Structure 1
Amino acid sequence: MAILKVVDVDKCIGCMSCMQACARFRYQSFSLYRAALQVKTRGGISSGFQVNTCLGCTEPMCAEACPTEALIPRKGGGVVFRQNLCIGCGECEKACPVDAIRMDPQWHIPIVCVQCGICTQYCPHEVIQMVEEVVPHVDK
């Protein structure tokens, strides 16, 4: 199965179309905070952007940390989120080695990438793509 990958961050223009697509389609929200990936400046107008997203780990530490198994490993990398089992404890957020999970303060659930790929369809410069690749276990 394919995982989300940043393939050419230098092409990113910071339009945040990927974030808007994620928030809208995955969480039915217009808030960019509810996007599972984050586009940020590298530190100034002329320094470009960085895209922070889930690495699609094959042994996700966030799933290992979840006491209710609301997050479980997804075949091919990443996780499946079962919201009905989530108790909002935030252990997944603490366990993520790349800070790709944020707890939503209003909904008390993690904003987490489920490798659906909707963001890639809205990136005008193909900065992010779904790629068939196995990502090794990452230690925090």
Structure 2
Amino acid sequence: MKVLKAMQMNRCIGCLSCMITCASVNQQDHSILKSAIRIKTSGGLSGKFVAIVCQACQGDVPCAEVCPTGALVKRQGGGVILDKDNCVGCQRCVLACTVDAIYFDPDTKKPIVCKHCGVCARFCPHGCLQLTEGVR
């Protein structure tokens, strides 16, 4: 299984194409707030950009471990898959994520979790994001 990595963030110009594409494809919404990836500056207008994205945890997966309904299931290769039907919207996963890469959608009352589909990487005009082979 492949996992998303922010490999070349020194190339990022902050166009947010990755966020818009992620939200559009995965949430059917064009708001950047519906994206599973976030691009932020590391410090003011002149700072470099950083990507906040699921790190595809191996072994202990804090977000899945705190889920009271089992709605977050470990994904082969790293990370988790969200079963929206089992999710009760408690937001425990949001608080448990060690890299703050799970976002909560106040409209659907469900978390927004990266599924490592790679659509953001395909639409990044500068190759900042890449899908790499995950550990099996």
TM-score (norm 2): 0.95
RMSD of equivalent CA atoms: 1.2
Superposed, 1:15-94 pairs within 5 Å as 15-59=15-59, 60-94=61-95
Q: Which runs of 5+ in 2 are unaligned?
A: none
Offset at residue 88 of structure 1 (A): 0.1
The residue number in structure 1 matching 2:98 is 97
CA distance in 2, matches of 1:108, 1:67: 16
The residue number in structure 2 matching 1:115 is 116
The residue number in structure 2 matching 1:138 is none
**1:82 is matched by which residue type in structure 2?**
D
Offset at residue 104 of structure 1 (A): 1.1
Secondary structure at the residue paired with 1:92? Answer: helix
**1:121 is matched by which residue type in structure 2?**
R
Residue deviations 1:24-67 (CA, integer Å, cap 9, x gap): 00000011000000001112222121110000112321111111
**1:106 is matched by which residue type in structure 2?**
D
Aligned length: 135
Offset at residue 133 of structure 1 (A): 3.5
Secondary structure at the residue paired with 2:85? Answer: helix
TM-score (norm 1): 0.92
**2:94 is matched by which residue type in structure 1?**
E
Secondary structure at the residue paired with 1:4? Answer: strand
